[in-house]
Structure 1
Amino acid sequence: MNITFIGGGNMATAIIGGLVKLADTQIRVVEPNVAKCTELITHFRIAAGATLPAQFDEQEIIVLAVKPQQLKEVCQEIAPRLNHALVLSIAAGVGVATLSRWLGGHQRIVRVMPNTPALVGLGISGLFAEDTLSLRDRTTATQIMDAVGSTQWVADEKAMDAITAISGSGPAYVFYLIEALRDAALAQGFVEAEARELALATFEGAVKLARVSGEDPAHLRANVTSKGGTTERAILRFDQEGVKHALMAGVADCRARSEELGQLLNQENH
């Protein structure tokens, strides 16, 4: 595969880190920041520079990895150079129809919502494309994002806001809970290093057990929660404080905000 990234930020870097491990993959990055280009060239041994090619190849894959606020200008700049190449956009909030309009009616587009664990090869990405996109292009998009984790296609583009609320923003929720468990450990008298390790190892082990066992999380929780025991006391307090409800409400608020920002961005850049 020949892949060109427009933008060389953190998420682009994470995806590139997975792709360089694949055989027969040629990568280049178009990035105006000279220091960033030098870093990418040094670390990954790929091509990077500030200049767009005069024309992209029809077999090329273009990954739009710039900020949503910059996307319209970038799309308009690359539109006459596309030559029917496949385009993946990882910019949040910008729909396929809007991208197509900015790209002069281009149709080979996949919208992607990755997340930050892609930096360690454990991301999960939501993908959406119109029904007209070929199976070959869908397979190519899946292969690219599988290089940094796993993928999940959605049939309705509105579900991309839900993907944002669950997995896109989800790592922040997990970090929030790790932070809370670490702070609880500190309150129980552990020093910082001990509290951090207790919290991290507990989350790592619990996720691994849930993944390997394949059992419902509620059942796994029940296995640890003896009647009248210590864990039950903690769970009862969590229920009294509305922890689960607060998490679900926060996810709903996140989705609503994603929808709002998408509408604003699309309206402002119409």
Structure 2
Amino acid sequence: MTKTLATFTGRMLLVGCGNMAGAMLDRWLAAGLDPALVAIVDPFAKPREGIAHFAALADWLAAEQGAEWIMLGMKPQQLGEVADDLTPVLTGETHLLSILAGVSLADLALRFPAAKAQVRILPNLAARIGAGVSAFATLGDVDAAAVAGLLDPLGTVVALADDSTMDLITAFTGSGPAFVFRLIESYAAAGERLGLSSDDALKLAIATFGGSTALLADSGEKPGVLVAQVASKGGTTQAGLDVLDEGGQLAALLTNVLRAARDRGRELADIARGDG
């Protein structure tokens, strides 16, 4: 069934519209969101047809336009710069959405107590094509059906009981696409070093990763089951797996990658609160 926003109502203000917020907006527009309901406060935002674009928050405030939905999509360390100006336009009808890494629901509630609800969302870039992952948690008098309807067109949606694991999920799914892209890039580079042309190596790497993840998702099996279907004792696949699995080095490397990204999220939270 097509996930549509053609019946979505309520004005939306995007405070910041960089890569991630822009990907979400592009998908929402493709899903039928009326661009006349959207305003953007971001002097660097990519123009979107039919959307009112304001270079600065002061311009939007001067226009005296309300918004039932306000999404924070700038850098988390910029929260202090916009909080004071944004506070007067938040009302008991406003859902405050945030995709700011490291900024907790408690932080949002402290900064913007007048909002009807605070919704912390962790999307990823594949939302642009409706294949993303959006984990979210809420605080306050949230319209759960409306929030779910807004996130559904972006891809897989995971509702969390609270935001206690959000820093890890930021690293795991939010940063995850970049890690996967780097793995594909490195896989292609390895093929090129061993004799493939750069074009063939990248094309084959993309197809191999894409086909493998699609098969895994379609099969409903654990990854190890499919590993066993590809590998045979003493064969070529097992020879490569022996290198990957030696000393648990791959798992250790990925754990360190996620830990570094998670910890940086916590540092950004301290900066956003003015503690850093």
- TM-score normalised by L of structure 2: 0.86
CA distance in 2, matches of 1:17, 1:144: 13
Identity fraction in percent? 34
The aligned counterpart of 1:233 is 239
Contact 2:231 2:237 in 1 (8 A): yes
The aligned counterpart of 2:3 is none
1:59-84 deviations in whole A, cap 9, x for unaligned?
A: x2111111112212212212111222
CA distance in 1, matches of 2:155, 2:33: 19
CA distance in 2, matches of 1:108, 1:146: 19
CA distance in 2, matches of 1:260, 1:79: 24
The aligned counterpart of 2:268 is 261
Contact 1:76 1:104 in 2 (8 A): no
Contact 1:89 1:111 in 2 (8 A): yes
Identify the range of structure 1 (195-204 vs 250-259) with the bigger mean alpha-carbon deviation. 250-259
The aligned counterpart of 2:5 is none
1:47 aligns with one of 39, 52, 70:
52
1:216 aligns with one of 201, 219, 222:
222
- Aligned-pair CA distance for 1:139: 2.3
The aligned counterpart of 2:170 is 164
1:148 aligns with one of 148, 151, 154:
154
- Aligned-pair CA distance for 1:31: 2.5
Q: Which amino acid is the alignment partner of residue 269 of structure 2?
A: G
Q: Is 1:248 aligned to 2:255, yes or no? A: yes
Structure 1, unpaired ranges of 5+: none
- Aligned-pair CA distance for 1:264: 4.0
**CA spacing shift, 1:15–1:212, aligned 2, 3 Å:** same
Contact 2:126 2:132 in 1 (8 A): yes
**CA spacing shift, 1:72–1:176, aligned 2, 3 Å:** same
| Aligned-CA RMSD value | 2.1
Q: Which amino acid is the alignment partner of residue 73 of structure 1?
A: E
CA distance in 1, matches of 2:115, 2:80: 14
Contact 2:76 2:269 in 1 (8 A): no
The aligned counterpart of 1:9 is 18
- Aligned-pair CA distance for 1:55: 4.8
CA distance in 2, matches of 1:239, 1:251: 19
Contact 1:6 1:64 in 2 (8 A): yes
The aligned counterpart of 2:194 is 188
**CA spacing shift, 1:24–1:199, aligned 2, 3 Å:** closer
- Aligned-pair CA distance for 1:267: 4.1
The aligned counterpart of 2:110 is 101
Q: Which amino acid is the alignment partner of residue 11 of structure 1?
A: M
